[in-house]
Structure formats: structure tokens, C-alpha cells
Structure 1
């Protein structure tokens, strides 16, 4: 809906509210549909579905690796404590068990610490490689960085399988994790997939297509984890089981790479002189937020405002990514395994599976309703989703029954919409040739936020578990509130009168209304600003008619 604001000096401003979606066309009553210019993506795709199977197959394989590593780490920790026991994915000590021994607690703490070490060893080099590879993809192409994670995943599995077969100490796993993160893991592939989507979609399509990628990540992750968990439960011989499962996962990654080679066309014109290890790659990422030539420009001094709006979106992403990260899921698992819930493995699995299904269903249905029925913009959708997740976090903080935890899953079913909508809005602000650098910065920030989340919220939970174990979820709600306020600032900043924008006086509006009844020429000169979708630009011809 268009809002007409009248100021005290007789000036009328037309402005889009945050409820409005990006408008692609402005058609006069006398113009036919065939005269409209249909917006085209930067690169016209050959097929409707291209990169989506890559995301699904890769994340199904990557997710299957996680239970295998947890299984092996737990086994080695038991051996260090000289406990000769067969460990399986179904054998877990309840946190509510009063007969739990001190040795059992030490084993669990030690295993958790080693999982944290391996995660850090993977993520720190991954942050650096994400920035370098992502910016380089703007010059070298998207396709190499859809292939690289597949090959690095096979290499990671090979080294890890060798360590397991030789029964080497856990310290050797740090080598495979550092190598896997340095060569580009799941962050690189998802970065490349989003940049590829930005290359082949219009502004109006982009939010939905990015959301589809996030849903495929969730679906692939769920199938991969459930499948390998079931396989581990059926196989008690862990030493030979790891090798057989690694071979299956490696074969799946190989199939993904073959699909990329045969069925994914390149969308970026490659530069032969593009260097991988160049200061220009880092500078390209930094320049997005510091210089004005990286944002889409439309003249009249508007680039500075768009640059600041991009910074506000980036700041909101920092707060949101801190809480929508894997460490929060781990804390949630500890929360429901402890008193007063004392869940068993079956109930926990039901809760996690139902939460994933609700998030995927809620994101798809919520986006359709808010975008097509309520005509909301990307930021408006993100604001509604933030309110949904904040309500769920507050309910979790004070929940004391199993039923309330499942209700919180229903309340937070829009969580998957937040980050994709912010990504889509950032993509619309940045120049098409800077999409790889943009999503490199976004992926690096999300990875870094996952690390910061673990060192921020784990201590909060540990310090308050005996006093008020739900305090950590109030902290989560506070972070979400900060992201919500920043997005509100973005909406207010966007609705202010832009510099260089022509103001229409009331008399001019009345004259224009009268002239529109005489001829269709009064509307023919009203066009959409190609840089700021949804805004009106008056041509010189129309100005002369009004005067």
C-alpha cells in the first residue's frame, strides 16, 4: 500500500510502508500488460531448478558425518578413562539419574570439550577461507566453489577414516578438521549456492528462493542424521562401521560433484587474471560496507543512504545469527534432559524432528501468506518472524512441562524466515558484481557468530542452571530484541525522504489528476526507479506538462 504524507509546507511525499513488497512495475489504466517491461535476473537460468539438488545432497552427506565423529570421540574418551564398554548412539546417561557416577560425568564433560575443540579447529580456518573464496567467486565463477567443498569433504573423510583405522589419538582429528575448514566446507558451498541464486533471480524472486535453500539444508540435515543414527544403532562393530559409512558418504559427495560438473552452468564471466590469494579479495568484502561504489546507485546522492541501510542490516544479522546457531540447539538439548523435564532419547528425537518439520512448514506457509496475501516486504516478514521466536524463547524460559516445550516449537515455527529475508534484502542493496563478496561476509559472520554463541551462552547456562535454568533463553530473547530494534531502525530510515528526491506540491498533484482525465500522457511518464524498486521517478517531459 502506498502512503501519502502531507507536511506543513504543502509537500506531498509518497512512500512505501514496510508492509509493501518490492513493486516491479507501475501500470497506468490505459497501458496494456504487454507494454510492461518484465524484470529479468542478471543471468537468465536455463532451468528453474539448478543448484537446489547440490545443496540437498551435500548437506545430507555433511550431516551424516556428525554422528560418526561424536561416536568415535565418545569411544576414545571412554578408552582414556580405562572403561571397556561398547558405546552406541542410543546409550546415554540421563542427567536426572541420581546414581550417575563421578566417572560418568567426567567422561561426558571430556567428550563435550573434545567436540568443542574439533568444532573450533574447523570453524576458525573456515571463516578465513570463506572470505577469500567468496570474494574470488565474483571473478573466478561460482562453479569452482560448488565443487571444492565436495572434494574437500572426500579428502576429510579419507584422512579421518585413516585415523580411525590406525586407532590414533584424538589430537590427530584436529589435523583433518583444520584441513577441511581451510579448503572450504559447508559454508563455502552454501555461500556459492546463495550467490548463484542471486545471479539467476530477480529482486522479487530472491527472498523465496533463498528460503528454499535454507529449507533444503534443514531437510538434508534431518535425513542425514536420522539415517546414520539408525545405521549406527544396527551396527555394533564400530571399527569397521566407520569405514563403510565413510565410503557411502564419500560416494554421495562424488555424485554431488558429478551433478555440478554436468548440470550446473556457470553464471559469472571468468577473469583469467583473477588471483585467489590477493588483497583485492579481502578489500572487495570490506568495501561493501565502507565505500559507496559497491551498492546499487541511482544518482542524486542516494548511495550513502543505501550504504548505511546495508550496515544496519549487517548489525541486525550479527545479533540474530548469534542465537539461531547450533550451540543454542545443544543448550536446548541439555535443558530438556535435565530437571524438570528429564526427557529420554525417544522423546528428544520426537521433539527435534517435529521442530524441524514445523520450521520448514511454517517458513513455507508463512512466506506465502505474508508475501502474497498480506503484501509484506522482506523486512516486514523478518520482523514478524522475530516476534515469533522471541515469544517462543520467553515461553521456553518459564516452561516446566513437556507440553509447553512443544507449544514453544509451534510459536517459533517462523524462525527459518529471519536470516533468509535479511540476506535477500542485503542482496538487493549490493551491486550484482559484488554478490559473492557480500555472501562471503554473511557466511563468515554466521560462522563466527556460532563460535561466539558457544562462548557466550554456555557460560550463562552453566552459571544459572542451579538458580534459574531458563535464564539463558531470556538472554536469547534479549539478543533477538536487539535485532528487532535494528530492523525497525532500518524501516524508519528507509521511510524518510531521500536526498535528491523530487517533492510534489499539492497544487501539482491536483493538476496532474485533472490532466490524467484528459489524456493518458500524464501517466506514461511515470516510471519505476530501476535502482530503488517501488519508487516513482518523474521524467522531464512530465515535469513540463505539470508546470
Structure 2
């Protein structure tokens, strides 16, 4: 099938979409504005038969999928530690930097830590490398075959991974089988495919004005489910071990797939002739970033540059989020803070509550500010919080940093929304699949850089990684501000010429 057969779905032609000029969110009669019908192309437009909007669409799918991932990630790491300790005959506990003990570190403990870190790295790299090939394939395919399949298939893959992990735990198989489960999940697209499918779906059903907030709601689902999983996972493992929580992981993934199958209405009318296994889908990613996509077929380097610049901003912001997040607990456990589990739990809760405060702040600020200025406010909140973290030597100062970060998640939904508005409606799947792959790369890069920088900075400034993160965020802030100023200047010029 060549490019002329591609289904182009207009924002106003999809489930739940509304006009910016005449919104009727409760209307289920399927009528479209006359302006949209006149502007719609006469060919290559497929319209879904269901157009009744729902207040909740793919949010439960993302919530459940994120819950399963957030629940199993720390548990699998702890299981690796326990299994490797058992295999090596180590039965000690990790020593704290705040301990007054002068006993030298146990070399067996160092070996357990090293092997656990290595296996974590192998498992993450295995899932990332397979997903890097599969996720763009599924994302581009969803532009033709529909979004629901891309919400169902990866959740079954995550469920299969949970089954493999359960078998390993029941039979006490070698930990290498964890890598097998991760690879099987990667072949189905893994959690990144769920991300791509959910954000693509929201882009399909929202108009340009409401898209940023709908994306922010999905971001808030990620934070809330992560917080809930963190609270449940640790307590449950201490009470009942590893196996029962992983049964919940399996049930959650199956529930997400079942919800997508039963309740999520298709936003793209499926093309029966769409093929999954074809190089055309990967070429669509190349075409998107090399030419700016179909919305830029008339030419123009500025459009393509904006796509790259906003992707760069997203990469830097998310890399800082992932990288700094891994240091919070280590920073709090060690001197001079020496927090216990209770304070660490409160700190984690404060960090996750920022997802809700960011959502609320974004909704309020959108009433009087452009999206770009909202993103800059979010970056300013994040930067000030990181600067406070870099010098925090008391509990009060640490929680002050958490308080200042109350808008730190306002930038990423704005960037996702801006990227979505730059591409053609028929390219939302390939765009968000690419963004999901970038997000995986952010995790690897952020984890590598900040976990290497932290021990290197201990001898001159323990909080330097947080200060470094704040400096990095100045780059996307400058890019976003510059692009917004250029847009405003262009708008003033056009209005002057038209008058």
C-alpha cells in the first residue's frame, strides 16, 4: 500500500473531537461543522462511525499499565538482590553511610551490588533495544490499523512478562530468565507502546485548544499510579514476599487489555489492508523528522526545525526528570540528612503529588497564558527546586525543594502537545511512538549520567548533580522562550500587513 492510501484523520473527524469555535462536548449526533466538511479533502479521509464523546477514554489503560510497571520495577530489583545474595551465600544487609560503625565494607556485599546493577542494566537494555524496533512499527501501524490494538497488544506482552517472572520465582530458575521475560514484553511494544497509543488517541479526540490539558491528565495518571504502586509494593513485599504482588501485576495488565477491548472506542477507522511487518512504518519515522511530515509538504525549514527543537527540549527535560529522580533516595539516606523510611516515603509522596499540582496549575495558567509560557513557568519551578536540593542539608530545606517543584511536570505535556500540533493528524501514531522511544533513551542516558556524576561529585559538592540538572533545564527554557517570541513577532507582522 503506497502513501496515497494512508488514512488521514482530521481532529474534528474523530471520536470526541469538538470545534474550537462552537464546542458541544455532549453532542452525540455525529454532525460536523460545515467549515470542516468544506475543508476536508475529498479523498483519503476515513471517519469513525462512533462520535459520542466520553469523559474518560484511555486514562484507565495508562493508569493500570503504569501501576503494573511501577509495582514490579522495584520488586524485581529487590528479588534480584535476594536471589544473587542467596546464590553467593551473602546474608548481610546494606550498611548505611549514617552508621557510626567502623567495620569495612563486606567485599561479598559489593559483589552482590555489582551483579544486581549489571543484571538490571542487561534487562533494561534488552527491553530498550527490542522496543526501539517494535514501538515505531506499532505506532505507525496504528495510524492505519487503529489505536485499540496498540493498547491491547502491549498489555498482553507485559502480562506475559509477569507470567515469566512468576515462573522464575516459583521454580527458582536462574535470573537470566528475567531477561527472557523482558525481551518477550519488548517484542509486543512494552510500556512504551502503551504510552504511544494513549497519547496518540488523545491527540485524535482532542482539538488544538484542549489537547495540552488532555495530555496533562495522562501525565497525572502516570504520577498517581506510580505513587499508589510505590505505597503498596514495599509494604506488601515485607508482609507476603514477592509472588503475590506479581500476581497483581499480571491481573492489572490483563484488566488494562480488557478495558481497552471493551470500553475504548476506536478513533481511527481501521484499514483492513494495513500491514504490520513492513519497512514502510520505519520509513515513516525517517520521513517525519527529515521533511517535517505531511503537514510540511509545501516546504519550509522552520517547520522541520521546530519539530527537532521541541524534541530536543523534551529529551533534555525528561532526561533530567529520570536522572535526578534516581538520586533523591540516595541523597536522603546518606549524611547529612540520614532520613529513615518514613521520611523517604513522605518525600516520595510529595514528589508524586506535584503531578496533581502541575495539572491544576496548568489548567489555571492556560486561562491567561500561552502554552509556551506555562511550560516556562514549569521549568522555572523545576529549576528553583533543584537549586534548593543542591544545597539542602536539613529536612526543612529538602521539603522546601519539593514544595518549589509543585509545577515541575507542567512542561512535558506542553511539549507533547506542541509536537502533536506540528504533524499531520494521520501521523500522530508515528510521532508518539518516536517520542516514546526518546523517553526510553532519556531513562538510559539520565540514569547513566547522574548515577556516574553523583559519586564523582561527593568530594567537592554532594548536591552538584541537582545543580547540573538545573543548568541543563536552562537550554529547553531558552529554546521554548525564543520560539514563542518568534511566533508572537510573526503574528504581529501578519496582523500589521493584513490591516
Contact 1:128/1:444 (8 A) holds in 2:
no
Equivalent residue for 1:316, pick from 287, 309, 313: 313
Question: What secondary structure sits across from 2:410 in the alignment?
Answer: helix
Match of 2:351 in 1: 355
Question: What secondary structure sits across from 1:203 in the alignment?
Answer: coil
Equivalent residue for 1:330, pick from 326, 329, 334: 326
Q: What is the rounded CA distance, in whole Å, between the counterparts of 2:296 and 2:220 in structure 1?
A: 29
Unaligned 5+ segments in structure 1 are 1-22, 27-35, 86-90, 510-547
Equivalent residue for 2:120, pick from 104, 112, 115: 115
Q: What is the rounded CA distance, in whole Å, between the counterparts of 2:286 and 2:441 in structure 1?
A: 16
Match of 2:4 in 1: none
Contact 1:94/1:344 (8 A) holds in 2:
no
Higher alpha-carbon Rg: 1
Mapping of 1:515-526 within 5 angstroms? Answer: none
Deviation at 1:106, TM superposition (A): 4.2
Match of 1:457 in 2: 450
Say whether 1:95 aligns with 2:85.
no
Mapping of 1:461-480 within 5 angstroms? Answer: 461-480=454-473
Greater displacement, 443-452 / 175-184: 175-184
Match of 2:406 in 1: 413
Q: What is the rounded CA distance, in whole Å, between the counterparts of 1:226 and 1:394 in structure 2?
A: 28
Question: What secondary structure sits across from 1:245 in the alignment?
Answer: helix
Unaligned 5+ segments in structure 2 are 1-18, 23-32, 41-46
Structure 1 pair 125–499 and aligned structure 2 pair: CA distance change class (3 A):
farther
Mapping of 1:95-494 within 5 angstroms? Answer: 95-99=97-101, 101-103=104-106, 104-235=109-240, 238=241, 241-242=242-243, 244-295=244-295, 303-325=300-322, 327-357=323-353, 359-372=354-367, 375-494=368-487
Deviation at 1:191, TM superposition (A): 1.0
Q: What is the rounded CA distance, in whole Å, between the counterparts of 1:330 and 1:292 in structure 2?
A: 34
Deviations 1:468-498 (A, max 9, x none): 1111112111211111111123223323438
Deviation at 1:152, TM superposition (A): 0.6
Structure 1 pair 414–499 and aligned structure 2 pair: CA distance change class (3 A):
closer
Query: How many residues are treated as equivalent by the alignment?
Result: 458
Structure 1 pair 39–387 and aligned structure 2 pair: CA distance change class (3 A):
farther
Deviations 1:192-242 (A, max 9, x none): 01100111010111100110011111111211221122111212xx4xx41
Contact 2:324/2:465 (8 A) holds in 1:
no
Deviation at 1:245, TM superposition (A): 2.8
Q: What is the rounded CA distance, in whole Å, between the counterparts of 1:348 and 1:108 in structure 2?
A: 21
Deviation at 1:292, TM superposition (A): 4.7
Q: What is the rounded CA distance, in whole Å, between the counterparts of 2:331 and 2:91 in structure 1?
A: 29
Question: What secondary structure sits across from 2:258 in the alignment?
Answer: helix
Say what the alpha-carbon RMSD is for the aligned residues. 2.6
Question: What secondary structure sits across from 1:343 in the alignment?
Answer: coil
Deviation at 1:360, TM superposition (A): 2.3
Deviation at 1:107, TM superposition (A): 3.1
TM-score with structure 1 setting the length: 0.78
Q: What is the rounded CA distance, in whole Å, between the counterparts of 2:132 and 2:292 in structure 1?
A: 25
TM-score with structure 2 setting the length: 0.85
